Amino acid sequence: MPDVGETARNWIELIVGVALIAGAAFLALSRDAAQPDSRQAPGSPAKAAALGATIAAVELPTALPYFAAIAVIVGSGLGVGDQLILITTFNIVFVSPLLAMIGLLAVAGPRATDSLRRIGDALRTHWRVAFAWLAGAAGVLLVVLGATGLTGLR
């Protein structure tokens, strides 16, 4: 946020940090009644299309951080080569879970299916707690940045 004053930026950090901590607390305290069942029968093509559309709609907001990262990199004043390296690094980090799964399948073959299924079941079961910890940590960091900026300690 280069066009925002320092005080406004500190307040935004503080407010977003508090919102992240509140969201993390909500996620940590909420319970999901659905238990993962990786042995479910495949659905109809219409269900698959609906699921695909839902995933696309949920994933759409992930484009905003990507555009923000590009804007920060382009506005950094670095040379074009350095900018390309940073954008490439961002993309590799973003797709690293997919690359890890592809690597596991390439090395272990069909034996990896059970491991990936167990990992997927664990993620479906515990995603709220994991995301709550990440959001809470980001919130605490933003609160500390905003508060230290407002008090003049930064």
Instruction: Write out pLDDT tens, residues 40-57.
Output: 555 678 887 887 788 777
Give 32's pLDDT tier (boundaries 50, 70, 90). low
Nearest alpha-carbon partner for 43 in 54, 32, 59, 58 = 54
Most confident range (mean pLDDT) of 19-23, 26-30, 121-125 is 19-23
Instruction: Write out pLDDT tens, residues 68-115.
Output: 888 888 888 889 999 999 999 988 988 898 898 888 888 988 888 888
Cβ burial of 139 (10 Å; 0-12, 13-18, 19+) is buried
20, 142 Cβ separation under 8 angstroms = yes
Nearest alpha-carbon partner for 28 in 130, 146, 115 = 130
* pTM of the entire predicted model: 0.54
136, 21 Cβ separation under 8 angstroms = yes
pLDDT of residue 2: 57
Instruction: Write out pLDDT tens, residues 1-27.
Output: 556 788 998 999 899 999 999 998 988
Token pair 């090395």: residue: 107
Q: How many angstroms separate the Cα of 34 from the Cα of each of 19, 37, 72, 126, 130? A: 26, 9, 40, 11, 17
Token pair 């272990």: residue: 108
